[in-house]
């Protein structure tokens, strides 16, 4: 039996898969792979470190492991514990031991060097692989952590989004509630505003009423104070002057009582006595005294005095009577010339405008008609019965329907709107003025007069309806006069012109035209013009002119001259 060469311990090959003396158990590759699987990422086990330690234990043992590339060697056959070498490997190793005995020491050394080189290379590759694997694991771990964070962030964002949605819904709900409250608040504010406006209006009405009461009181106080402006006559003085109200002194009868002419304080006056049976007589008296005692105007009948105890008024005496008497030639008085009629129209409009411009409120006459226009010796016209219309008795004896109605004023002269609605204004007097102006040029009764004049203008027959007692009417100016009168007598108040800005300027123009014609007429008869005549104050020469013109007209008609002392 040949002697086997003795191989020292340092020269013998040891299994690279088992190093019993190091105290480490060698695990199979499958176990290693199971421990280094990426599944450790989910369990947070750092298995890479253990695998690395096993690998480096192989290297540090000083034994060169053999990795066979043949098919009879498998990493899967490696087991931990005493049985770590498979039978196939043991057989190969025995053959190798036998063959190695037959090889030389030099060949063994060379093979060992190659193996060491191969092992170093493999170790380097394994190290690189493990580094790559560790890097991949770290990246996978970082990615998983990042994915976890992203998932957590997504969940957090979803939660925030849900909270935002809930918050938005809650906000919308709050907004809707606030809108509802706002609408309620607006409605409440509107209601409060309406109530405040109503309350303010109520307070204004109360204040206005209080001011009215205070104003009335002041007016009464002022009137009481101003009562001293008119002369107070005793009943004895008036009885003596009127010869105890003799019928011979009686010059007229009004709706409120008789009128007497007499002398008081050596002055011709007209005395009006209120009817004792008139229910409103004393109020009527008080009204006229209060108003007329404060009125001073050339075209207003002047109140000279009164007897308050017996309801007697004392006026200035108007020698030529009323315009109605002159238009209808009562007592065979001569007709008025068209020049005088135009001037009278201007005087009436001037006096009426004065009443409408009184303060604090305009004074409405309410009963303007030819019977309440009086003429003095100079044929200057003045408005009478101011302030009486509102207190005239509703029924009176010896007064026909032509003169009086149940309404204040005379029927044909009353504003139709005032009759229908009871609304009274300055335009009510404008209507009465229009009817009066039509009577000035036609000398006809007021009933249906507007229709007659309208038809005449349409048919161009105005010359046929004007007063025939006046032969020389200027047709063009008379047509303007008639059209202006019809405008004043419009049924609707809003269609009537303004007295101050429209009516009076046109009437003044026509009056100036008439005065020029009057002066030229009397220059031809050697009459000199008055140096200071005007619309409100005519001097005695003008009176002479009027008398001459009236006589001329009467002479042309073949009627005798007559005068009325009414």
The β-bridge partners of 213 are none
- Residues 6 or more apart whose CB falls under 8 angstroms from that of 450 comprise 434, 435, 438, 486, 489
**Dist CA 392 CA 409 (whole Å):** 8
Whether the bond into 290 is cis, omega within 30 of 0 = no
Sign of the Cα torsion 229, 233, 238, 241 reads negative
For β-strands 381-383 and 373-375, DSSP reports them as antiparallel
Residue tagged 């101050």 (tokens): 500
How far apart are alpha carbons 481 and 489 in whole angstroms? 13
Long-range contact list for 470-475, CB < 8 A, 24+ apart? 470/335, 470/336, 470/337, 470/338, 470/341, 470/553, 471/553, 471/556, 472/338, 473/338, 473/441, 474/338, 474/513, 474/517
3-state secondary structure of 340: helix
Kindly state the DSSP code that residue 322 receives in the 8-state scheme: B
Q: Which residue from 462, 324, 487 is spatially nearest to 402, judged by alpha carbons?
A: 324
Task: Check 325, 367, 385, 467 and give the catalytic one.
Answer: 367
Q: How far is CA 256 from CA 312, 532, 565, in A?
A: 11, 39, 22
Active site residue 367: yes
Which residue in this structure is represented by tokens 């304080």? 265
Exposed/middle/buried for 179, CB within 10 Å: 0-12, 13-18, 19+? Answer: exposed
Which is nearest to 546 in space by CA: 563, 532, 566? 563
- Is 99 strand, coil or helix? helix
Active-site positions? 367
């Amino acid at each position: 039996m040949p002697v086997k060469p003795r191989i020292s311990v340092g020269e013998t090959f040891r299994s690279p898969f088992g190093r019993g003396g190091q105290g480490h158990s060698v695990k199979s590759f499958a176990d290693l792979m199971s421990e280094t699987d990426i599944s450790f990422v989910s369990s947070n086990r750092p298995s890479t470190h253990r695998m690395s330690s096993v690998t480096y234990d192989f290297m540090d043992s000083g034994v060169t492991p053999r990795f066979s590339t043949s098919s009879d060697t498998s990493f899967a056959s490696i087991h931990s514990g005493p049985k770590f070498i498979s039978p196939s490997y043991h057989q190969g190793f025995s053959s190798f031991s036998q063959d190695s005995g037959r090889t030389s020491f030099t060949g063994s050394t060379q093979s060992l060097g190659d193996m060491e080189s191969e092992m170093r290379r493999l170790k380097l590759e394994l190290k690189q692989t493990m580094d790559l694997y560790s890097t991949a694991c770290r990246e996978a771990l970082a990615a998983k952590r990042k994915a976890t964070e992203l998932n957590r962030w997504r969940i957090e964002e979803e939660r925030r989004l849900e909270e935002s949605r809930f918050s938005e819904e809650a906000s919308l709900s709050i907004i809707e509630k606030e809108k509802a409250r706002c609408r309620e608040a607006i409605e409440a504010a509107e209601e409060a505003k309406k109530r405040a406006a109503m309350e303010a209006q109520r307070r204004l009405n109360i204040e206005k009423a209080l001011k009215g009461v205070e104003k009335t009181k002041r007016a009464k106080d002022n009137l009481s104070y101003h009562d001293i402006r008119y002369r107070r006559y005793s009943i004895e003085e008036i009885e003596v002057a009127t010869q105890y109200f003799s019928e011979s002194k009686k010059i007229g009868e009004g709706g409120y009582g008789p009128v007497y002419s007499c002398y008081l304080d050596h002055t011709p006056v007209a005395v009006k006595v209120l009817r004792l049976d008139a229910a409103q007589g004393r109020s009527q008296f008080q009204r006229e005294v209060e108003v007329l005692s404060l009125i001073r105007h050339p075209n207003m009948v002047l109140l000279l005095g009164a007897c308050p105890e017996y309801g007697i008024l004392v006026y200035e005496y108007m020698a030529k009577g009323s315009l109605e008497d002159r238009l209808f030639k009562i007592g065979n008085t001569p007709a008025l010339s068209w020049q005088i009629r135009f001037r009278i129209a201007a005087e009436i409009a001037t006096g009426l405008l004065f009443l409408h411009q009184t303060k604090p409120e305009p004074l409405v006459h309410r009963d303007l008609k030819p019977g309440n226009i009086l003429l003095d010796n100079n044929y200057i016209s003045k408005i009478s019965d101011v302030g009486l219309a509102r207190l005239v008795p509703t029924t009176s004896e010896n007064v026909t329907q032509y003169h009086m109605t149940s309404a204040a004023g005379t029927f044909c002269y009353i504003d139709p709107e005032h009759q229908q609605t009871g609304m009274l204004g300055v335009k009510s007097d404008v209507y009465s003025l229009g009817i009066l102006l039509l009577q000035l040029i036609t000398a006809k009764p007021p009933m249906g007069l507007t229709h007659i004049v309208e038809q005449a203008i349409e048919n161009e027959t105005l010359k046929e309806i004007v007063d025939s007692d006046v032969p020389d009417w200027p047709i063009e100016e008379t047509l303007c006069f008639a059209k202006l009168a019809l405008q004043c007598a419009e049924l609707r108040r809003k269609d009537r012109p303004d007295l101050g800005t429209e009516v009076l300027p046109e009437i003044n123009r026509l009056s100036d035209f008439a005065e020029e014609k009057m002066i030229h007429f009397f220059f031809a008869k050697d009459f000199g013009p008055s140096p200071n005549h005007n619309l409100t104050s005519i001097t005695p020469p003008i009176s002479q002119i009027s008398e001459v013109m009236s006589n001329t007209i009467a002479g042309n008609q073949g009627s005798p001259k007559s005068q009325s002392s009414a």
